[in-house]
Structure 1
Amino acid sequence: MSLAQVAAAARSSAALPLTLAVAAVDVDAPEEGGAAGGAPAGAFVGAFVGTAGGTVGVDDTVVLPVASASKLLLLAEVARRLDSGELTARQPVEVLPEDVTGGTGLLGRLSRPGWTVEDLAWLTAAVSDNTATNALLRLVGLPATARLARELGLERLTLHDRVRDERGPDDPPVFATGTARDLARLVALAVRGAMASPAASARLLGWMRANTDHGLVPALIDHDPYAPGFPEPLAGTLLVANKTGTDTGVRADAGVIVGARRVAYAVVAHWDVALGPSTERAAVHAIRDVGRALGAWAQRPA
């Protein structure tokens, strides 16, 4: 069964209004008209087709809320600035009262008021810390993330605001929006070492490797979350680095699976919350089914 068929079957089996956007990039496959590792868009796996001007997926160009998966864009900008010298890893950052918010993370529950840039990046990547995210956003600014997205060709991946406990009528309705295609492309660029620079790419992947949430795409994949060697393959095991997102009516996961092949992916589910918790369960089940197909693809010899 192709990956596109898996996504379609999972969506259909939910028997509920559910958008399931899927993109997956065979990072090391040669592109049409180029050698492996050339242009950043990649060749899509399964039923996905690499094209000279872009990529094709399952609803992969639909703009959806992507929740905290979009924090990859913020982390990419921080990694770029650390590599360029605009920031230093041990540079102190004071966490201000306006940074503190609820939801995921630990920082708002800890007593220490000051952290370093890289401390905040590790917290954002590992536990999706919303307070750390807000402090980093305040440090680099939303316009910088938009500029990086444009430079990388991520036309529809946008951070709209800081993380808020409540959104008023004058606030953007969601934290971030994007497409599965753009999220997968951002990861593929990092795996290829082409996200700003090889050093910045490696730093971003290292942060992603620390993510503690493997409950979506990696959930049904037999993988080792702690093995060394990332992002190069290790014989006999799969490795995963990812960033997830959770919000009302949204589940998202973007990352890379490393096996015989290196497969960058993004899966975003969006549904009508009025239909109740059964829809959320169906969305998670669908994402995990796609993840199982991605893991099987990554295990195939290149």
Structure 2
Amino acid sequence: MLTAFPPPELPGTLTVAVPGLLEHRADDSLALASVGKLLLLAEVARGLTGGTLEADEPVALLDEDYCAGSGLLAKLSARQWTVSDLARLTAAVSDNTATNALLRRVGLDRVNKGAAELGLTQTRILDFIREPRLPEHPPTFAVGTARELAALTQQIAGPAAWARLMLGWMAACTDRTMVAAAIPHDPEDDSVPKVPLDRLWVANKTGTDIGMRCDVGVVRGRREVCYAVLGNCTPGREFELLQAMRTIGARIAAFIG
């Protein structure tokens, strides 16, 4: 097991599940920010490999899909993209507009039903992405636990066709500022290698919002580690939360070697 956690100066709530290595408040339910998009991506990947969705199906962007915050589509001129395009944008740059278009196409109920089929009982999407989020809206985009998300990531690291597709999407994630920041790896390596490796490799999905920093991923080297680290804190103390998350990344890197 890894050494004791958390550090005494932790600026909020940090829940951690690294199966076989580290666990801290792993069953506490927290707001997930964009890590909740993993549930949508899992259902899209299952649909693409199961024949209920087509990768090249065109999806027209509607006015209500557009959302500020992370992503590129809100600033691009094209108004039609494929299901596969939208999934890649959601995974790689956490595109809020792409997320809303996919969520509208697939359906919120279907996404949460699919999550339940994968064993997630407390982790779910509550609403579309909204900027700003008003009092009449659900209080946050998604909620969940580190234990359930780590278990989901173990499935994503497995041999199923949908999992291999999704792991490839996550390998293209451009945000390696949280747990992965302390793991020496090539952030542009979006291949999906097998274990063991003579290097370290990361595929992940992060979530960023005011008072929230979350990171869920797979690390491969001489062995494989899956992790889920979810943090909520007082607005303005997010960088301190990041520092605590990076200590976990350093410990994972040391364990894998």
Shift of 1:229: 5.2
Shift of 1:84: 1.2
> Which SS does the other structure have where 1:13 is aligned?
coil
**What CA distance in whole angstroms lies between the structure 1 residues aligned with 2:90 and 2:80?**
15
> Which SS does the other structure have where 2:184 is aligned?
coil
Q: 2:253: which partner in 1?
A: 295
Shift of 1:121: 0.4
**What CA distance in whole angstroms lies between the structure 1 residues aligned with 2:231 and 2:63?**
33
Structure 1, unmatched stretches of 5+, are: 26-43, 49-56
Please give the residue correspondences for 1:190-209 in structure 2 after superposition, counting only pairs within 5 Å. 190-193=156-159, 198-209=160-171
Please give the per-residue CA displacement for 1:133-152, whole angstroms capped at 9, x wherever unaligned. 00000001110111111111
Q: 1:8: which partner in 2?
A: 6
Please give the per-residue CA displacement for 1:106-153, whole angstroms capped at 9, x wherever unaligned. 001100100000000010000000000000000011101111111111
Shift of 1:234: 5.5
Contact 2:48 2:55 in 1 (8 A): yes
> Which entry has the higher C-alpha Rg, 1 or 2?
1
Aligned length: 257
Shift of 1:228: 6.5
* RMSD between aligned residues: 1.4
Please give the per-residue CA displacement for 1:146-169, whole angstroms capped at 9, x wherever unaligned. 111111111111100000012222
**What CA distance in whole angstroms lies between the structure 2 residues aligned with 1:109 and 1:8?**
40
Shift of 1:13: 2.6
Contact 1:3 1:290 in 2 (8 A): no
Contact 1:64 1:177 in 2 (8 A): yes
Structure 1 residues 224-233 or 176-185, which shifts more? 224-233
Identity within the alignment, %: 46
**What CA distance in whole angstroms lies between the structure 2 residues aligned with 1:113 and 1:247?**
26
Contact 1:23 1:58 in 2 (8 A): yes
**What CA distance in whole angstroms lies between the structure 2 residues aligned with 1:134 and 1:3?**
39
Counterpart of 2:177, as a letter, is G
Counterpart of 2:130, as a letter, is R
Structure 2, unmatched stretches of 5+, are: none
Q: 1:67: which partner in 2?
A: 33
Runs of 4+ in 1 over 4 A off after TM superposition: none
Please give the per-residue CA displacement for 1:29-70, whole angstroms capped at 9, x wherever unaligned. xxxxxxxxxxxxxxx22xx4xxxxxxxx21110000011011
**What CA distance in whole angstroms lies between the structure 1 residues aligned with 2:155 and 2:54?**
23
